[in-house]
Amino acid sequence: MLNLKSVDQEIIKDANKKMIINLLRSQGELTKQQIAKNIGVSIPTVISNINELLQEGIVEEAGVGDSSGGRKPVIVRFKPNSRYSFGIELGLYCIKIILTNLDSEIIEEVVLDVDLLSEAKTEKDINEFFDKISVIVNNMMQSKAILKASVLGIGIALPGTVNEEKMILEWAPNLAIKNIDFGILSKKTDMKIYLENEANAAALAELRLGVAKDMKNLVYISITEGMGTGIVVQDYLYKGKNKRAGEFGHMTIVKDGRLCKCGKRGCWEQYASELALLNEYNTNSVDKLTNISEFFKKLQAGNEICKSIWDEYLEYLAIGIQNIILILDPHYIIIGGRISNYENLIIEALKEKVFTKNSFFGPENIKIFASKLKSYSAIMGVSLLPMQKLFFLNDKIL
């Protein structure tokens, strides 16, 4: 028979342990007495949990502290390099893989300027793609002499809708792929896989590591080849009933406008994504650009075509943001993706357009920031997913 009392005790024990790990992770080192005082539990509870954590190798003893009389208290120190996590971002033009420690420091990084996934059309191609990823993951561990047993798992950021329970990428319009089973990679690497939409992952990273550390309600706007948004409500990631909330990139901005890869016309991402910006320049100019750094170089040099395209681009970006603010009224809007590297060119100009002729809200009501983690938001966010179970009390998803 299920013993409810013991289940409750297990939950409380687990919660105490997580609180202790979180405290030590943020403070670095503390005595057992300080831990007990800080989280309001008894010394014996702290001692039994610390003993477990010592055995697991997540903390170590680090000498003794000052005593106000009696035995000197033992200092316990958090070991950030006791466990690791992989983050993988699969984009239209590149694959990025990072290995981080428990302090979210990047230990090793590999970037491939290729898009192998959207080229993978057959089952054999997909198998080969996962073989390649698996080899890179193993090589990264080997080069840092990290054992598989100390790796918590692999988080993967994807530009599309995902089913994280079934480990399936359901649809990524910009990669033109559907129903990719990441369970295959889990088998090949013998590691747990965590999938997340890239904008949701980025919102999570900003919340835990970035500009939004003390924020409750925010919308993260990911501007890459396409556009996605991650919504945080009262510290929870809002995903909705079908886990597809935040597809603002496909809200209609222009009736009967440009054709989108999703099949509709006039979607926001056809006007305000990185690709839209490049396409606008390339159709209006004799020379052709392949990336946005070339665009911003020309813009800063005072190129007239770039100036007018940039102004129109910001108009469209602002219209979408105004709509999002009217729907959600968040504390903060965070602009992310490669474009956020050009913060000084975007933020002030964008604010002016968002708040002009606007009787509903002004700059005093909503803050607009560039992402602190820049193009690393999504990948840092997914690298946190394997650590969730170790650190956070719950997954915090609505």
Binding residues among 266-285 for Zn ion as defined by CB under 5 A: 267
Residue 146 CA to its chain's centroid (Å): 24
**Binding range to Zn ion, per CB under 5 A, among 3-11, 183-191, 207-215, 250-258:** 250-258
Task: Using the minimum distance from each CB to Zn ion, give the nearer residue, 21 or 260.
Answer: 260
Q: Which residue has the tokens 């958090």?
A: 78
**Binding range to Zn ion, per CB under 5 A, among 191-199, 245-253, 336-344, 354-362:** 245-253
Task: Using the minimum distance from each CB to Zn ion, give the nearer residue, 12 or 327.
Answer: 327
Could you say which DSSP state residue 288 is in?
-
CB of 288 to Zn ion, least distance (A): 24
CB of 266 to Zn ion, least distance (A): 8
Task: Using the minimum distance from each CB to Zn ion, give the nearer residue, 116 or 262.
Answer: 262
CB of 250 to Zn ion, least distance (A): 4
Task: Using the minimum distance from each CB to Zn ion, give the nearer residue, 221 or 387.
Answer: 221
Task: Using the minimum distance from each CB to Zn ion, give the nearer residue, 276 or 325.
Answer: 276
Other residues' Cβ atoms within 10 Å of the Cβ of residue 3: 9
| Distance, CA of 161 to CA of 202 (rounded, Å) | 15
Task: Using the minimum distance from each CB to Zn ion, give the nearer residue, 252 or 285.
Answer: 252
CB of 36 to Zn ion, least distance (A): 54
CA distances to 26, 72, 75, 76, 154 from 60, rounded to whole Å, are 15, 17, 9, 6, 26
The reply to whether 262 sits near Zn ion by the rule CB under 5 A is yes
Q: Residue 317, class by beta-carbon neighbours within 10 Å (0-12 exposed, 13-18 middle, 19+ buried)?
A: buried
The reply to whether 250 sits near Zn ion by the rule CB under 5 A is yes
> Two tokens at 193?
């896989």
**Binding range to Zn ion, per CB under 5 A, among 61-69, 133-141, 243-251, 334-342:** 243-251
CB of 228 to Zn ion, least distance (A): 11
Task: Using the minimum distance from each CB to Zn ion, give the nearer residue, 136 or 254.
Answer: 254
Task: Using the minimum distance from each CB to Zn ion, give the nearer residue, 171 or 392.
Answer: 171
The reply to whether 59 sits near Zn ion by the rule CB under 5 A is no
Contact 298, 339 (CB under 8 A): no
CB of 222 to Zn ion, least distance (A): 15
Task: Using the minimum distance from each CB to Zn ion, give the nearer residue, 276 or 380.
Answer: 276
Q: Which residue has the tokens 């009933």?
A: 241
x/- site string to Zn ion, residues 200 to 239, per CB under 5 A?
A: ----------------------------------------
**Binding range to Zn ion, per CB under 5 A, among 65-73, 96-104, 238-246, 260-268:** 260-268
CA distances to 86, 130, 138, 182, 372 from 153, rounded to whole Å, are 6, 15, 13, 13, 25
**Binding range to Zn ion, per CB under 5 A, among 83-91, 162-170, 255-263, 316-324:** 255-263
> Two tokens at 29?
């080192």
Q: Residue 253, class by beta-carbon neighbours within 10 Å (0-12 exposed, 13-18 middle, 19+ buried)?
A: buried
CB of 280 to Zn ion, least distance (A): 17
Binding residue for Zn ion, selected from 24, 201, 260, 321, defined by CB under 5 A: 260
Contact 347, 335 (CB under 8 A): yes
Smallest Cα–Cα separation from 100: which of 49, 160, 31, 151? 151
Q: Residue 193, class by beta-carbon neighbours within 10 Å (0-12 exposed, 13-18 middle, 19+ buried)?
A: buried
Strand order in the sheet with 151-158: 106-112, 95-101, 84-90, 151-158, 193-197
- Residues in contact with Zn ion by the rule CB under 5 A: 250, 260, 262, 264, 267
